[in-house]
Amino acid sequence: MNLLIFGPPGAGKGTQSIHVAKKFDIRHISTGDLFRENIKNGTTLGKEAQGYMNRGELVPDELTIRMLESALNDNEKSGFILDGFPRTVAQAEALQRLLELRHQKLDKVLVLKVENDVIVKRLSGRRVCQKCGEVYHMSSRPTQVSGICDKCGSDQLTRRSDDEPAVILKRLETFWAQTAPVKAFYEKLGLVREINGDQQEQGVLASIESELAR
Ligand code: AP5
């Protein structure tokens, strides 16, 4: 099964992709995570991407498509869920070409619907473990012991640099200007399935599972 999860920043794409990938034994490919990994490792790609990400802008298509292509080549499992890609119509077109070359196709595009005020609360309360990458939220997904990662025990829980209030607003602006048209691209292909993302985490997952069972 090849899926794409789509929605504004903070809609819960990463959270739900992890659940779906585990349940269906498919690979979670997140372009945001791949860029952050490159930044952490000090690669040339990471250095090029960092400025765009810190400003809440999109990394140029050419760099992003090349990175995605190499992630698709590395896919050791039989399916994937793409999270954060495509973010422009040019990226969506490139993805179609890459999949055709591999005799693959997308089965469904899950569109998470969440209002702006909820998004701002989610992103401003998000905390990420610097050691293992586990994602928390100060009220909806707190750690068991305050300030300590449940998964690895690290005390390095921080706010993502692009979760500062001014950058959140810029990311939302970028989403509506450059990324929202991607939904229409997939509507024309009949692949879009809308999911109410404004429910508790497990409720969103249940809606996705019932959509995938259809
Ligand atoms: P990326 O990392 O993809 O960021 P994003 O799309 O802005 O999405 P987020 O990771 O912020 O949110 P999410 O929807 O995954 O929400 P999450 O599950 O974490 O990209 C970062 C940057 O990289 C971009 O700005 C761009 O610069 C660059 N980039 C990446 N891909 C690119 C591309 N294709 N082209 C060009 N540039 C690219 O949830 C958020 C919080 O809410 C968490 O704390 C979580 O615990 C909580 N939460 C989740 N679900 C719920 C729920 N149901 N109820 C309550 N809380 C919830």
pLDDT of 129-162, one tens digit each? Answer: 999 999 999 999 999 999 999 999 999 999 999 9
pLDDT confidence band for 74 (50 / 70 / 90): confident
pLDDT for residue 193: 98
Side by side, the strands of the sheet bearing 27-30 are 27-30, 80-83, 2-6, 108-113, 192-196
Distance (Å) from CA 81 to ligand 1 centroid: 14
**Ligand 1 near 38 CB (within 6 A):** no
pLDDT for residue 78: 84
Helix, strand, coil abundance in the chain, percent, nearest 5? 50, 15, 30
Mean of the per-residue pLDDT values of the chain? 96
Distance between CA atoms of residues 210 and 64, nearest Å: 32
Determine which residue's CA is closest to atom 53 belonging to ligand 1.
201
Q: Which residues are catalytic?
A: 13, 87, 126, 160, 171
Q: Reply yes or no: is the peptide bond before residue 86 cis, omega within 30 of 0.
A: yes
Residue type, 114: V
pLDDT confidence band for 186 (50 / 70 / 90): very high
**Ligand 1 near 185 CB (within 6 A):** no
Distance (Å) from CA 110 to ligand 1 centroid: 15
